[in-house]
Structure 1
Amino acid sequence: MKLNKLLLILSFSVLPFVHSCRSPESDNKLKSKIESALADNQGIAVDVEEGNVTLNGQLGSDSLKQVVEEKTKMAGGEQIKSIHNNIVVNLPEPEGAREKYHELVGGAVDSTLTRDVNRVLEDFPTITAQVKEGIITATGNIEKTKMDSLKKRLEHIKPKGIDMKGVTSR
């Protein structure tokens, strides 16, 4: 009798662990359901591991991010243990924002840009640059493979314009 009770208690204590072990097949089915529900939201990656759903990607607003999470909940239902919404919201820059910024800060922008350009050029010792009225004028010689990197890094500091006519590649 004691042995039966012991087996019964042991089986009930193991049951929750057996239930929590999900097969990869059930995760794949859940992932397929969610991906189907999110078909109109291009660029959202769905990962499912043991019922835990992770959403990755980029969207243009917080409300879209919430809609994607709601669609995920509805598609997965009780099969979902948790949702990790790692979607990044990239708000589009309003048209003309860069020009307005330069108008507002006037001459102060040149000193800030000069500082930022000098930081970028630390990695490109063969290039020099001048900043005037928010426009970067670069000169020098650089390897072809590094030209795109230089341009992207200069664009990242958001100047009014970039003149790279004086930069030659070797």
Structure 2
Amino acid sequence: MKIFRTQHTARYRFRGKPARKRRNTAAQDGLTIVCLASSLALSACSSLPRLECPKEEPPSVQEMLYFGTDGPAGIVSRSQWSDFLKFTVTPRFTQGFTVWQGDGQWQSVDGKVQHESTYILSLVHPDNDSNEKAVQEIIGRYKLQFRQEAVLRVKFPACTSF
């Protein structure tokens, strides 16, 4: 009589026949959910990985912000975008930034795929609380002013030199 546990199926077999699969109890299911939720929550708290930069290139952050232009109030015009840059972005990032236009696609909360023109803002700055606050303000003001559902933010470490 051989009893063994297979590595991949985690079922016990008796004479080559699978035994009944043991059911998890509610407590085991709850523990599994708590463990998964905890690991997801902890991973969300992690900061950007440290980048080893040469002495002459201080560590920074590069951010890409994607601003959709279609909204309930109509399309964000070039002049509206220029004013937004002048009055909202420039005062917060006087050291400079880069902007270009693209065509984007995303899925809204209601599940519909949206196609629209997009303004892309690239910022390179030191990783500190004041710059984090400035980026959050830019995103918040754009969403409020142009009644946008979202602004995509992509952030990653960088080394800079001038």
TM-score by length of 2: 0.31
Return the structure number with greater helix share. 1
**TM value normalised by structure 1:** 0.30
* Higher strand proportion: 2
Please say which structure displays the higher CA radius of gyration: 1
Higher relative contact order (CA 8 A, sep 6+): 2
